[in-house]
Copies of this chain bind each other. A is one copy, B any other.
Amino acid sequence: MSFRCAACTLFRRRCQQDCIFAPYFPPTEPDKFELLHRYFGARNVAKILQEVEDNQRAQAIETMYFEARSRVEDPVLGCYRIIAQLRKQIRETEAEIEKTHAAIAFYAHQPHQRNHF
Protein backbone atom coordinates (compact mmCIF):
# COMPACT_ATOMS: atom_id res chain seq x y z
CA MET A 1 0.00 0.00 0.00
CA SER A 2 1.40 3.40 -0.91
CA PHE A 3 1.79 6.35 1.46
CA ARG A 4 -1.03 8.83 1.59
CA CYS A 5 -0.75 11.98 3.72
CA ALA A 6 -3.58 13.25 5.91
CA ALA A 7 -4.61 15.82 3.27
CA CYS A 8 -4.80 13.30 0.42
CA THR A 9 -6.57 10.86 2.72
CA LEU A 10 -9.19 13.53 3.52
CA PHE A 11 -9.63 14.33 -0.17
CA ARG A 12 -9.54 10.63 -1.13
CA ARG A 13 -6.89 11.16 -3.76
CA ARG A 14 -3.52 9.64 -4.60
CA CYS A 15 -0.65 11.28 -2.70
CA GLN A 16 1.79 12.38 -5.36
CA GLN A 17 5.56 12.31 -4.88
CA ASP A 18 5.62 16.11 -4.83
CA CYS A 19 2.54 16.56 -2.60
CA ILE A 20 3.07 19.87 -0.78
CA PHE A 21 1.25 18.63 2.34
CA ALA A 22 2.89 15.21 2.69
CA PRO A 23 5.96 16.28 4.75
CA TYR A 24 3.83 18.04 7.36
CA PHE A 25 0.68 15.98 7.62
CA PRO A 26 1.35 12.30 8.30
CA PRO A 27 -1.74 10.09 8.01
CA THR A 28 -1.40 9.32 11.72
CA GLU A 29 -2.50 12.87 12.61
CA PRO A 30 -5.62 13.50 10.53
CA ASP A 31 -7.05 16.12 12.94
CA LYS A 32 -4.31 18.65 12.30
CA PHE A 33 -4.90 18.93 8.58
CA GLU A 34 -8.63 18.73 9.03
CA LEU A 35 -8.61 21.73 11.37
CA LEU A 36 -6.33 23.75 9.09
CA HIS A 37 -8.56 22.93 6.14
CA ARG A 38 -11.61 24.01 8.09
CA TYR A 39 -10.08 27.28 9.30
CA PHE A 40 -8.11 28.38 6.25
CA GLY A 41 -9.07 26.06 3.45
CA ALA A 42 -6.51 23.64 2.01
CA ARG A 43 -5.78 25.99 -0.89
CA ASN A 44 -4.85 28.85 1.42
CA VAL A 45 -2.62 26.57 3.48
CA ALA A 46 -0.85 25.51 0.28
CA LYS A 47 -0.50 29.17 -0.75
CA ILE A 48 1.23 30.07 2.52
CA LEU A 49 3.51 27.03 2.18
CA GLN A 50 4.50 28.12 -1.31
CA GLU A 51 5.33 31.60 -0.02
CA VAL A 52 7.93 30.41 2.47
CA GLU A 53 11.23 28.58 2.18
CA ASP A 54 11.24 24.80 2.50
CA ASN A 55 13.03 24.89 5.83
CA GLN A 56 10.46 27.27 7.31
CA ARG A 57 7.36 25.43 6.17
CA ALA A 58 7.04 23.24 9.27
CA GLN A 59 7.08 26.38 11.41
CA ALA A 60 4.52 28.11 9.19
CA ILE A 61 2.22 25.09 9.61
CA GLU A 62 2.71 25.12 13.38
CA THR A 63 1.81 28.81 13.68
CA MET A 64 -1.24 28.39 11.43
CA TYR A 65 -2.29 25.42 13.55
CA PHE A 66 -1.79 27.54 16.65
CA GLU A 67 -4.05 30.23 15.17
CA ALA A 68 -6.73 27.73 14.22
CA ARG A 69 -6.74 26.09 17.66
CA SER A 70 -6.88 29.49 19.35
CA ARG A 71 -9.95 30.36 17.26
CA VAL A 72 -11.64 27.12 18.29
CA GLU A 73 -10.99 28.03 21.93
CA ASP A 74 -12.17 31.61 21.45
CA PRO A 75 -14.17 32.25 18.26
CA VAL A 76 -14.28 36.00 18.96
CA LEU A 77 -10.68 36.81 19.83
CA GLY A 78 -8.76 33.81 18.53
CA CYS A 79 -5.06 34.04 19.35
CA TYR A 80 -5.45 37.77 19.90
CA ARG A 81 -6.72 36.82 23.35
CA ILE A 82 -3.22 35.60 24.22
CA ILE A 83 -1.68 38.83 22.92
CA ALA A 84 -4.12 40.90 24.98
CA GLN A 85 -3.35 38.82 28.10
CA LEU A 86 0.41 39.14 27.63
CA ARG A 87 0.12 42.90 27.11
CA LYS A 88 -1.94 43.17 30.29
CA GLN A 89 0.68 41.14 32.15
CA ILE A 90 3.41 43.48 30.88
CA ARG A 91 1.44 46.57 31.93
CA GLU A 92 0.94 45.13 35.40
CA THR A 93 4.58 44.17 35.73
CA GLU A 94 5.67 47.62 34.59
CA ALA A 95 3.40 49.19 37.20
CA GLU A 96 4.97 46.93 39.82
CA ILE A 97 8.47 47.93 38.72
CA GLU A 98 7.54 51.59 38.93
CA LYS A 99 6.24 51.07 42.46
CA THR A 100 9.44 49.25 43.40
CA HIS A 101 11.56 52.09 41.99
CA ALA A 102 9.48 54.61 43.88
CA ALA A 103 9.95 52.61 47.08
CA ILE A 104 13.70 52.38 46.53
CA ALA A 105 13.92 56.14 45.92
CA PHE A 106 11.86 56.78 49.03
CA TYR A 107 14.04 54.64 51.30
CA ALA A 108 17.22 55.92 49.70
CA HIS A 109 16.26 59.41 50.89
CA GLN A 110 15.29 58.41 54.44
CA PRO A 111 18.66 57.70 56.07
CA HIS A 112 17.25 57.53 59.59
CA GLN A 113 14.55 55.01 58.83
CA ARG A 114 16.82 52.50 57.27
CA ASN A 115 15.62 49.63 59.41
CA HIS A 116 12.15 49.92 57.99
CA PHE A 117 13.54 49.09 54.62
Contacts and interface: CB of A to CB of B under 8 A. Distances in A.
B67 A79 contact: yes
Nearest to A89: B90
A85 to B, nearest CB: 9
Interface residues of A, number: 39
| Identical subunits present | 2
Nearest to A101: B100
28 contacts: A39-B44, A40-B40, A40-B44, A52-B75, A52-B76, A56-B76, A59-B76, A60-B77, A63-B76, A63-B80, A66-B80, A67-B67, A67-B78, A67-B79, A83-B86, A86-B86, A86-B87, A86-B90, A90-B90, A90-B93, A93-B93, A96-B97, A97-B97, A97-B100, A100-B100, A104-B104, A111-B114, A114-B114
